[in-house]
Structure 1
Amino acid sequence: MGATIRDIAEKTGVSITTISQILNGKGSRFSEATRNKVFQTAKDLAYKPNFFAKNMVTNRTNTIGMIVPEVTDPFFSQMVKGAEDYLNAHDYMILLCNSSQDSAREDLYVEELLHRAVDGLIIASPNILASNVFEQLEIRHKPYILLDCKRHHREEGNIFIDDYEGGYMATEYLISLGHTQIGIITSDDSFYSVEERLQGYLACLEKHQVPGESAWISEGDQTMAGGYFAAKQLLTTTEITALFVTNDQMAVGAYRAALELGIHIPNDLSIVGFDDIELAEYMAPALTTIRQPIYDIGKTAAEYLLKATQNPTEKIANKKMPLDLIIRESTQKLDARR
C-alpha cells in the first residue's frame, strides 16, 4: 500500500491539513522550510496523491478519455500512442475505449467517461454522435477534440486532414506514371473520410480527361480481408494497370490477391495506399502511399485538449494536418513494365 498524507504527518510533525494544502499548491502562507520538508518527505516516501480525493479539491482527475473505432487497427494504435506519450509526459493518464465502430457504443462511452470525471475527451469517430452527448459535454464544461471535423460540423476543436486532397494526390501520381486504367478500392459511404478520397480520385480523372468506369471501383471492409476480396473481384473482372487503395490495411489484402492471381507488383500492377502505417515500409515491395502524420494527430489532439482544460474560456483551434506522397517500390511508369 502506498504512503498517505498521514504517513507524511507522522514523519514531519506537520498537521494533515497543512500538508494537504501544501501538496495541492495552496501552501504559500507556510514557511519555505515547512514546504520543503513536506515535499522532500513526500518524495522520500514515494507518495502519490489519490486522484479521486484530489478531484474534491481541484476538480481535476488528471485523466483524459479517448474513444477510437478499433484499437487493434494499426492506424488508431499509432494515434493512441501519440496522445498517450504526450499525456504521460504531462502527468496525465488516458482511459481508452474501443467502440468497434458502433455509434451507440460511442455514445455510451462518452456518458461513462463523463461519469468517471475525466478532464476532457478525444473522440475519433466516423459516426455522427447523438446530440445529447454534446449537450452533456457542454453542460459539464468538458473540453473535447474531434478527429473528424466535417462529419460533425463543429466550428472549433477539430484536427483533420484533407481526404479529398489525398485521393486526388494518389490518383494524379499514377496518371503521371502514364496509367489511364486506374482502379480504386474503397468502403461504404458511412466512412466520410474514405468517401472524400473516392471523390478526389474521380475529380482527378475528370481533370486530366482520363476516362473512368464504374467497374473499376470496388468496395470492401476497411480490413486486410476486405482489401483482399475487393481486389480479387477487381483484378479478375477488369484490366486495370494501377490501383489506389484507400487505406494501407486494405492494400495488404490487395497484395495477397495479386500474388494469388500471378500479378506482379509493380511490373503488372502499380499500387498506391493511404495512411503510411508502419507495415507499409516493410511490405514486399514497399508500399507507395499517402502519408498522414498519425502519431502527430494523436499528440496534437492531446496537446490542444490539455490547453483547453487549463484555459476553458479560450476557443480550441482547428488544425489541418499535412499529407505527403511517399514513393516506394509498388509503383512504376507504365512504359517500364516488362
Structure 2
Amino acid sequence: MKKKVTIKEVAATSGVSIATVSQILNGNAEKFSPKTVEKVMNAKNSLDYQPDYFAQRMVMKKSKTIGVMIPDITNPFFSLLLKGIEKVVYGQKYIVILCDADFSVQKESEYLQELIRRGVDGFIIASSTVSNQTLKEQLTKNQVPYIVLDQKKSEGGSDELSTDDFTGGVLAANHLRELGHEKVALIGPQDAPSNIQTRIEGFKTVYPEFLFVNQPLTREGGKQAAEQIIPSEVSAIFALNDEIALGLMYQLKHLGKVIPDDYSIVGYDNSPMSEYVTPTLTTVSQPIFELGQIAAELLLERIRDPKQAWARKVLPVELIKRNTTAHLK
C-alpha cells in the first residue's frame, strides 16, 4: 500500500514551514507571495498530497457542507431547486447533504440533530412541517445559520426567500376569467403550507366562490380529483401545482374527456414536464432554479457574515399560456 504523503513532506519539498503550507491549502493564500504559493502548490501536486478532511475542519472551523431539507424528493420542483443550490455551492467548494423529510416531523427533527452533530455550516429549509420553534431551538441555539424558502416562512431569526404566490393566484384566476369561465374548481390540500394558502388568497380576489377539491400536491391527488370534477358544473380548474394538473389531465383523458374542449386547466410551477405533455400545460411559472441559486447565495453570505441584517426576498412569477386553456364554449 502506498504510504500517505504528509503535510510535513509538502513543507520540506517546498522549503517553507508547515504552518505556511497549512494556511495556503486552507484558503489563506492571499497572505503570501505568489512565488511561495506556487512552490507549495507545485509540491502538493508533485507529491499527490491529499489534505486530511478532519484536520482541515479543525483549522478552518468549517465543514464546507450545508444541509438542504425538502418535503418530497419525487416532486420535480425540488429537483430543479436542488440544481440551483448545487450550482452555487459547488462553485464555492461546498457539498450538499440532502434530507428528504417526506412530510415527517420526526424525520425533520432527527435530520436537524444529526447534521448539527456532523457540523454542517448551514441549512436551507424548504419543508413546511418543521416548526419555527424547532428551528430556533435546534439551529439558532447552536448558532447554525439557515434560510427558509418556498413552503416555509420565517418568523424572524433567519433569512427568507419566496416567490410572489399571491400574484400567481391572481394571474391564474384572471386568465380563466378572461376566457369566460364562471364556474371553476381549485385542487389542493386543505392544510396547505403558507405559500400555497397565499396562492389561494390571490385566486379568491377574482373568484370568491369556487369548488374546492381537497387533494395532496401529487399526481395521484390530481387523478383522484377527477372523480369530483366530472359530476360538477365547473368548466375550468386551477391546480395548485403542476403535479396535480398532470395527474388530473391523465385521469380526465382516461375517462373520455378532451382538454381544453371539456375543461380548461391551469397548473403552477412550470415544471419541466409541463411542456412535454399533450396538450402542453398552461401554468404559472416560478423561477425555481433561480430560487435555489439565490437561497444558496444568501446562506453562504450568512455563513461568512452572521451579523448582517436579515434578508427577505420575493421573486416574481409569470403566466405561461399553452394549450390546456381555451374560451368557454
Same fold (TM over 0.5): yes
The residue number in structure 2 matching 1:233 is: 228
The AA in structure 1 aligned to 2:271 is I
Q: Equivalent of 2:213, from 202, 208, 218?
A: 218
Q: Structure 1: give runs of 5+ residues left out of the alignment.
A: 207-211
Instruction: Determine if contact 1:304/1:316 at 8 Å carries over to the other structure.
Output: no
Q: CA separation in 1, counterparts of 2:134 and 2:103?
A: 19
The residue number in structure 1 matching 2:312 is: 318
The residue number in structure 2 matching 1:327 is: 321
The residue number in structure 1 matching 2:119 is: 117
Listed as ranges, the matches of 1:188-337 within 5 Å are: 188-206=190-208, 212-213=209-210, 216-235=211-230, 237-335=231-329
The Cα shift of 1:273 comes to 0.2
Q: What do the CA deviations read for 1:165-186 (whole angstroms, capped 9, x no partner)?
A: 2122101110001111111111
The alpha-carbon distance between structure 1 residues 204 and 30, as it changes in their structure 2 partners (threshold 3 A), is: closer
The alpha-carbon distance between structure 1 residues 6 and 200, as it changes in their structure 2 partners (threshold 3 A), is: same
Q: What do the CA deviations read for 1:221-267 (whole angstroms, capped 9, x no partner)?
A: 211111100122222x2121111111101111101121022111111
Q: CA separation in 2, counterparts of 1:30 and 1:197?
A: 54
The Cα shift of 1:12 comes to 3.3
Q: Equivalent of 1:131, from 130, 133, 136?
A: 133
The alpha-carbon distance between structure 1 residues 112 and 155, as it changes in their structure 2 partners (threshold 3 A), is: closer
Greater shift, 285-294 or 131-140, is seen at 131-140
The AA in structure 1 aligned to 2:255 is L
The residue number in structure 1 matching 2:21 is: 19
Instruction: Determine if contact 1:107/1:129 at 8 Å carries over to the other structure.
Output: no
The AA in structure 2 aligned to 1:294 is I
Instruction: Determine if contact 1:127/1:151 at 8 Å carries over to the other structure.
Output: no
Q: CA separation in 2, counterparts of 1:287 and 1:316?
A: 37
Q: What do the CA deviations read for 1:139-195 (whole angstroms, capped 9, x no partner)?
A: 332211001487442365100123232122101110001111111111122432333
The AA in structure 2 aligned to 1:243 is I
User: What SS is found at the alignment partner of 2:205?
Assistant: helix
- Asked if residue 86 in structure 1 is aligned to residue 80 in structure 2, the reply is no
The AA in structure 1 aligned to 2:207 is L
Instruction: Determine if contact 2:187/2:212 at 8 Å carries over to the other structure.
Output: yes
Instruction: Determine if contact 2:132/2:154 at 8 Å carries over to the other structure.
Output: no
Q: CA separation in 1, counterparts of 2:122 and 2:48?
A: 28
TM-score w.r.t. the length of structure 1 is 0.89
> Percent of pairs identical after alignment?
37
Q: CA separation in 2, counterparts of 1:244 and 1:172?
A: 11
Instruction: Determine if contact 1:187/1:194 at 8 Å carries over to the other structure.
Output: no
User: What SS is found at the alignment partner of 1:334?
Assistant: coil
Q: CA separation in 1, counterparts of 2:167 and 2:34?
A: 58
The residue number in structure 2 matching 1:209 is: none
The AA in structure 1 aligned to 2:10 is I
The alpha-carbon distance between structure 1 residues 164 and 189, as it changes in their structure 2 partners (threshold 3 A), is: farther
The Cα shift of 1:309 comes to 1.1
Q: CA separation in 1, counterparts of 2:71 and 2:51?
A: 32
Q: CA separation in 1, counterparts of 2:204 and 2:30?
A: 64
Instruction: Determine if contact 1:269/1:331 at 8 Å carries over to the other structure.
Output: yes
Q: CA separation in 2, counterparts of 1:77 and 1:219?
A: 25
User: What SS is found at the alignment partner of 1:290?
Assistant: strand
Measured on the aligned residues, the alpha-carbon RMSD in Å equals 2.3
- Asked if residue 154 in structure 1 is aligned to residue 156 in structure 2, the reply is yes
Instruction: Determine if contact 1:184/1:217 at 8 Å carries over to the other structure.
Output: yes
The Cα shift of 1:7 comes to 4.4
Instruction: Determine if contact 2:153/2:160 at 8 Å carries over to the other structure.
Output: no
Aligned length: 327
The residue number in structure 2 matching 1:51 is: 53
Q: What do the CA deviations read for 1:184-223 (whole angstroms, capped 9, x no partner)?
A: 11112243233332232222113xxxxx35xx21111211
Instruction: Determine if contact 1:182/1:241 at 8 Å carries over to the other structure.
Output: yes
Q: CA separation in 1, counterparts of 2:278 and 2:68?
A: 34
User: What SS is found at the alignment partner of 2:119?
Assistant: coil
